[in-house]
Structure formats: structure tokens, C-alpha cells
Amino acid sequence: MANERIRIAAVLLAAAAWMASGCSEEAPTYSRGEFHPPGWEHPSSHGTTTQGIGYSTCFQCHGFDLAGGTSRVACSECHGLSPLQCNFCHGDEAADPDAAYGWAPPIDLSHGAATTRIGVGAHRAHLRNLTLTTPLECEDCHPDVTGIDDPSHLDGSPFAEVVFGARARSDDATPEWDRTTATCSNVYCHGRFDHGNRGNNPRWTDVGHGAAACGTCHGVGEHEPHASAAVGCACHATVISYQNGIYTLDPSKHINGRIDH
Ligand code: HEC
Ligand code: HEC
Ligand code: HEC
Ligand code: HEC
Ligand code: HEC
């Protein structure tokens, strides 16, 4: 473990020194085996380290696509990563590589899994086992990435681009993502709809603290035209029923871009 930390420190220090010296513009040329600590080519060294810290450190010299970058060493030389799987650099490595939900964090690009990390946040809550609506797709919040080489994918910025899709823009909403506060505003799905709670700005990194409660997107104290649960349910009978204090929602009709009755 101590060795591992030394190796990680070596990569990070080298990376910092390189960046300080002007980064990719004046990338020095190294002979094979010269740059990293001895033995780095062995999986127990670079493999274990990468599994511990994620790929974000490697991108800087080996390229965002891991095809070589300024280091001129492509990971695919030894890995046969062609085509690279969508859950290789981010997402759940254990998931079926063809299942889109597995491409999203956790795991994030720095190998983190905590929902308090901006790269992880509420991905899982939006993509799997939803009770309120049908699962979202990547394109609901990101550009539609159709392949690793897609121009909207690896654009040289270390962060993911957040671009809202049709669902969040329903009813002429103009949703916005504020990275500094990690919040979304004006999102149709979270309250920017007729009789919704328009001031609701959910925080992406605040998972499990009630953002899915009826009163968040719908607001509280809103009497007309929703005088009571019974009235609300009677008017939207194809979407919801209410019995003995329990709501039953049809997820395919809820948060689908229109008010159903
Ligand atoms: C000189 C050959 C070589 C190069 C270049 C190389 N690797 Fe590896 N790496 C290996 C071998 C061999 C293994 C063990 C393979 C296995 O078990 O399937 C490995 C294992 C790994 C593992 C552990 C998980 C796994 O698939 O077994 C990770 C993560 C990894 N490499 C990342 C990278 C990254 C990222 C790059 C490029 C920046 C890279 N490697 C470049 C040879 C290489
Ligand atoms: C600051 C630049 C830099 C960073 C960051 C960096 N590398 Fe490298 N890497 C290089 C250079 C330059 C080479 C070619 C010279 C060499 O092989 O030592 C190289 C070569 C390699 C090789 C081939 C080594 C061999 O002897 O065949 C592997 C494997 C590798 N890097 C993996 C990684 C992994 C995995 C990461 C991220 C955890 C990473 N590198 C981060 C610059 C970097
Ligand atoms: C509900 C909106 C939403 C959905 C749906 C969504 N994402 Fe994200 N994603 C985000 C936000 C917000 C961030 C953080 C952006 C930032 O760092 O500024 C993010 C970040 C990311 C990152 C960067 C992680 C890091 O370490 O920085 C990746 C990769 C990613 N998303 C992939 C996906 C994929 C793949 C899907 C579909 C399977 C998906 N996302 C679906 C909102 C979403
Ligand atoms: C070689 C590493 C790597 C692989 C493989 C990879 N991604 Fe990414 N992905 C990234 C990085 C780095 C980012 C964030 C930085 C950026 O957007 O430039 C990202 C961001 C994303 C995002 C957030 C939107 C965006 O463009 O920022 C989505 C969606 C995404 N990837 C989908 C995919 C899909 C689909 C595949 C498979 C076709 C895939 N990724 C394979 C590295 C990778
Ligand atoms: C994440 C935000 C959100 C939460 C949480 C939420 N709703 Fe909604 N709700 C919406 C949106 C957006 C609409 C607008 C119509 C649509 O697209 O379905 C809506 C509409 C409705 C409607 C009108 C019928 C329709 O067309 O969907 C009913 C009834 C309803 N919600 C009941 C509930 C109940 C009961 C709960 C709690 C179990 C709840 N909602 C929680 C966002 C939310």
C-alpha cells in the first residue's frame, strides 16, 4: 500500500511538473520506460494505480481518448481496447457494456463513487429503478454521444457538458445548470410547469434528502385547483389513484412533458 502511494505520488508530481513547464505545447520526448517509475508497465503497478485513482490523471498525457496524446503511448497497444467500451473510463465496469445506464457514474472519471461528488451526483436516481417516471437517458442532460470520437464527447474540457434535452425543456422551460452551486433551475421536470413549484432548484449532489417528495416539484400550500388529494386524483385519474393514504402513479404518464387527465 505504501508502495502504491509512492507510485501515485510519482505520477501526480510528474504531471504537475509537466503542466508547470507548459504542458502539452512543449511536451518532452521520452524513450520507452523512461518516464514512469520502474516496473510501471506491469499491471500490478499502472493497473492497480489506475483502478485506485481513475483515468483523469492519464488523460493529460495519454489523451482524453487514451490514444497516445503527448506521451505517444496508446493504451490500446497492449489493451486491445478497440472499440473502447462506454463503461471503461466512466460508469460501472461490472455492468453489461451494452446497457446505457452502466455508462454513467458512479464510477466517475476520478474513480469516485460518493453521490456528494459532482461527477457522480444523482445519476443513479435518474437512470434506474424510478418510481415517479420512466428512466431518463443521457441525452436528457448531455449532448447525444454516439461514439468516443463524437465531437460533442471529448472536447478538451475536463468536465461533462450539460445540455438539456426535450423533456427538461417541455412547456417552453429554459433549464439551466450552475456548476458552482451544483444546482439546476427552471427545469420542467422539477417544477417549471403549470401549477408547479417554479422556484425549486434541486441540488445535484444532495441525494436522498427528499427531492423526490411530492411537495418539492408541486409546491406546498397550493390549494387551487388542487383542493385535496381526492380532487387532484379525480382530475388526473389516468395518472394517479389514491386509496387509504397511498398514491399509485403511472410512471409512463408522469413527468412526460404534458398534463394528463
Ligand atoms: C506496455 C503494455 C501496456 C500499456 C501501454 C498499457 N497497459 Fe494497462 N495493462 C497491461 C497489462 C498486460 C494488464 C493486465 C491485463 C489483463 O489482466 O487483462 C494491464 C492492466 C491494466 C488495468 C487493470 C484492469 C485490467 O484491465 O486488467 C488498467 C486499469 C490499465 N491497465 C490501464 C491502462 C491505461 C489507462 C493505459 C494507457 C494510459 C494502459 N493501461 C496502458 C499492459 C499495458
Ligand atoms: C505527465 C505525463 C504522463 C501522465 C500523467 C501519465 N503518463 Fe503514462 N507515459 C507518459 C510518457 C511520456 C510515456 C512514454 C515514456 C515511457 O514509457 O516512460 C508513458 C508511458 C506509459 C506506459 C508504457 C510504459 C512502458 O514501459 O511500456 C504506460 C503503461 C502508461 N504510461 C500508463 C499510464 C497510466 C495508466 C497513467 C494514469 C494513471 C499515466 N500513464 C499517466 C506520460 C504520462
Ligand atoms: C439528470 C441529468 C443527467 C443525466 C440523465 C445524465 N447525466 Fe451525466 N452528468 C450530469 C451532471 C449534472 C453532471 C456534472 C457536470 C459537471 O461536472 O459540470 C454529469 C457528469 C457526467 C460525467 C462526468 C463525470 C466526472 O467524473 O466528472 C459523465 C461521464 C456523465 N455525466 C455521463 C453520463 C451518461 C453516460 C449518462 C447516461 C447513461 C448520463 N451522464 C446521464 C447530469 C446527468
Ligand atoms: C477514453 C475514455 C472514455 C471512454 C472510453 C468514453 N468516455 Fe465518455 N467521457 C470521457 C470524458 C473524459 C468525459 C468528460 C470530459 C469531456 O466531456 O470532454 C466524458 C463524458 C461523457 C458524457 C457527458 C457528456 C459530455 O460529452 O461531456 C457522456 C454522455 C459520455 N461521456 C458518453 C460516453 C459514451 C456513450 C461512450 C462510448 C461510446 C463513452 N462515453 C466512452 C471519457 C470517455
Ligand atoms: C421530480 C418532480 C416531481 C415530483 C417529485 C412529483 N411530481 Fe407530479 N408532476 C411533475 C411534473 C413535471 C408534472 C407535469 C405533468 C407531467 O409531465 O406529467 C407533474 C404532474 C402531476 C400530476 C398531474 C397529472 C400528470 O399529467 O402527470 C399529478 C396527479 C402528480 N404530478 C402527482 C404527484 C404525486 C402524488 C407526487 C408524489 C408521489 C408527485 N407528483 C411528485 C413532477 C413531479
191 occurs within a structural domain: no
53 occurs within a structural domain: yes
10 occurs within a structural domain: yes
Mean pLDDT confidence for 249-260: 94
243 occurs within a structural domain: yes
Domain range for 229:
223-261
Query: Which of 62, 65, 66 most suits a substitution to test ligand 2, by most atoms within 8 Å of the C-beta?
Result: 62
Total number of domains in the chain: 2
176 occurs within a structural domain: no
| Backbone Cα Rg of the chain | 23
CB of residue 231 inside a 6 A radius of ligand 5: no
CB of residue 26 inside a 6 A radius of ligand 1: no
| pTM, rounded to two decimals | 0.85
CB of residue 198 inside a 6 A radius of ligand 5: no
| Mean pLDDT comparison of 58-72, 77-91, 231-245, highest-scoring range | 58-72
Examine the fold and report which residue of 41, 59, 79 is the final residue of a domain before the chain moves on: 79
**Alpha-carbon distance 102 to 80, whole Å?**
21
Examine the fold and report which residue of 79, 107, 134 is the final residue of a domain before the chain moves on: 79
32 occurs within a structural domain: yes
Q: Is 257 left (phi over 0), alpha (psi -120 to 50) or beta?
A: left
pLDDT, residue 205, reads: 98
231 occurs within a structural domain: yes
The DSSP code for 161 is P
- Ligand number, closest to the Cα atom of 138: 3
Contact 92, 184 (CB under 8 A): no
Q: Which of 20-34, 112-126, 156-170, 199-213 has the lowest mean pLDDT?
A: 20-34
pLDDT, residue 93, reads: 80
pLDDT tens profile 125-184: 999 989 999 999 999 999 999 888 788 888 878 799 999 999 999 999 999 999 999 999
Residues paired with residue 183 on neighbouring β-strands, in sequence order: 178, 203
204 occurs within a structural domain: no
CB of residue 144 inside a 6 A radius of ligand 4: no
DSSP secondary structure, 101-145, as one string: GGGSSSS-TTS---TTSTTTTTHHHHHSS-SSSPPP-GGGTS---
Examine the fold and report which residue of 28, 59, 79 is the final residue of a domain before the chain moves on: 79
pLDDT, residue 20, reads: 45
Model confidence at 1, pLDDT cuts 50, 70, 90, reads very low
